[in-house]
Amino acid sequence: MVATTEVRLQAPLAAARRAATWWGALDFDERRARLLAWKRTVAARSDELAAVISEETGKPVGDALLEIMLAVEHLDWAARNASRVLRRRRVRSGLLAADQGAALAYRPLGVIGVIGPWNYPVYTPMGSLSYALAAGNAVVFKPSEHTPRTGQWLAEAWSSAVGEPVLQVVTGDGAVGAALCAAGVDKVAFTGSAATGRKVMAACAQTLTPVVIEGGGKDAMIVAADADLDAAAKAAAFGGFGNAGQTCAGVERVYVERPVYREFVDRLSAIASALPEDGDQLPYGRMTVPSQVDIVRRHIDDAVARGGTAVVGGPEAVRPPYIFPVVLTDVPEDSAAMTEETFGPTLVVNPVDDLDDAVRRANATTYGLAASIFSRNRREAVRLAARLRTGAASVNGVLGFAAVPALPFGGVGDSGFGRIHGPDGLREFSRAQSVTWQRFKAPLDLMRLGRDQAVLDRAVRVFRMRHARGAK
């Protein structure tokens, strides 16, 4: 028997398949014009969209607008750069194939299934939608069950700006997501938790459907002894408490060099304590999903039970649907608040002996999405970033990379694999196609049955001259 969810997917998928043929056959300029028309519609009606996001997630309208602005930058970049990154180009054919001309082009995959989360219901899926569309694919998008209207709004805006059903939206919970994985799309771009990512990958394995997994994070901030502590504390507060901590690349752990540890904790605590006592006045919204509140509560309780100190907030900060800011110190590195994604407005601040210790602890996690470093020695900080096992890092700021469309975004380990954004994001939704053609008859024709021994001997002599010289 065919499940209802599968039946519900059939019509949108078939429409997307038909639209993919039309969309994939357009040239880059034709697609760019339509993507920019969609962009203009989203930008012009951003107040309307921000209101929908705010209603569905509980985040302030200002935060929703910022999210839209960032998403539109990405859409604009993908539309304008697809041709430069993906168009057909000649490549050198090399000595052995000197008789061949060679070219590389990035072709669309077909239909991409995009499965999105609720925390940034426009910005996050747009990282897949805009890059997949710009690469010439049609998309079937399943937004989170907590933000279906945001997803539908994007598709309606597409429809009014472009018309052809290249972007389809299907709504529903995980069962619809699972059905999309099994529906025979050409790639699945999943953003969500590592646990669901594993299910997505297992389902896609059955049909060898490739996947991009944008998973969660447990991002660390490192504060060096020479850092601007005011700037670091403000950034930690924004990165940790902003969006009620429901940010995949938000700050969850802070490692501070011992000489400035107390001062940093004092400055951060001052910021956190100054936030309003009234939930409606908080600079961030309610917790979007009730079940997340239980996870945050468990992490705080466990941290305190294991000897950590709540210098701001504590278990009583959890007053659903709000969680007031929590600053925890000296929390054991193996407690839940240090090893699992908390996804709430909590920050754990632990002292470290030196920057090597900070790097070691920052890397001691199954996640690897992003990190931030504060130091007045920018060069050293950038060098330190290279030692972090993450997909992104920002120096003297948080989340800087998320606003740069030319930079790829994605993680390692439980944070997933594959990249959205930037040139890598465009290629992620493409198939590289290599084409060669004979330009002239090869002087040393090796690619035939019964080749001439003298020709092979000459080729081997040239080969050894080129590659074996200097061998020990």
In whole angstroms, how close is the CB of 413 to ligand NAD at the nearest point?
12
Q: Are strands 309-312 and 326-329 parallel, antiparallel or unpaired?
A: antiparallel
Cα-Cα end-to-end distance for the chain? 66
For ligand NAD, give the closer residue by CB, 219 or 257: 219
Classify the phi-psi angles of 314: left when phi > 0, otherwise alpha if psi is within -120 to 50, otherwise beta.
Answer: left
Q: Count of CB atoms within 10 A of residue 377's CB? A: 13
252 is catalytic: no
Q: Which amino acid is at 212?
A: V
The residue with its CB nearest to ligand NAD is 177
Closest separation between CB of residue 328 and ligand NAD, Å? Answer: 20
In the annotation, is 214 catalytic? Answer: yes
- Comparing CB distances to ligand NAD, the nearer of 24 and 217 is 217
User: What gap in Å lies between CA 138 and CA 15, rounded to an integer?
Assistant: 9
Phi–psi pair at 216, nearest 5 degrees: -85, -170
Minimum separation from the CB atom of position 126 to ligand NAD (A): 11
Residue with smaller CB distance to ligand NAD, 165 or 174: 174
Tell me the C-alpha distance between 112 and 186, whole Å.
6
For residues 131 and 421, the answer to whether their CB atoms sit within 8 Å is yes
Pick 101 or 320: Cβ nearer ligand NAD: 320
Report, in Å, the least distance between residue 142 CB and ligand NAD.
6
Of 211 and 271, nearer to ligand NAD (C-beta) is 211
Distance (Å, rounded) from C-alpha 165 to C-alpha 200?
Answer: 25
Beta carbon of residue 399, minimum distance to ligand NAD (angstroms, whole number): 12
CB 78 within 8 A of CB 131: yes
* Residues found near ligand NAD in the complex (CB under 6 A): 115-120, 124, 142, 144-145, 173-174, 177-178, 181, 191-193, 196, 199-200, 214-217, 248, 341, 343, 369
- What the block records as the tokens of 209 is 């459907």
Spatial CA neighbour of 193 closest among 332, 79, 338, 340: 340
Active-site option among 56, 73, 214, 428:
214
Q: What is the DSSP string of 187-237?
A: EEEEES-HHHHHHHHHHHHTTT--EEEE----EEEEE-TTS-HHHHHHHHH
CB of 113 to ligand NAD, least distance (A): 9
Radius of gyration of the chain (CA): 26
Q: What are phi and psi of 288, to 5 degrees?
A: -70, -40
User: Which residue's CB is nearer to ligand NAD, number 176 or number 229?
Assistant: 176
Distance CA 339, CA 299 (A): 10
User: CA 424, 427, 433: angle at the middle one, nearest 5?
Assistant: 145
For ligand NAD, give the closer residue by CB, 325 or 391. Answer: 391
Q: To which residue do tokens 């709430």 refer? A: 344
- Among residues 56, 67, 248, 252, the one annotated as catalytic is 248
What is the nearest approach in angstroms of ligand NAD to the Cβ of residue 176?
Answer: 7
* Nearest CB to ligand NAD, comparing residues 136 and 216: 216
Q: How far is the CB of 188 from ligand NAD (least distance, A)?
A: 8
- What 3-state class would DSSP assign to 101? strand
Contacts 24+ apart (CB under 8 A), 197-206: 197/414, 197/416, 199/174, 200/115, 203/178, 206/182
User: Would you name the residues annotated as active-site residues?
Assistant: 214, 248
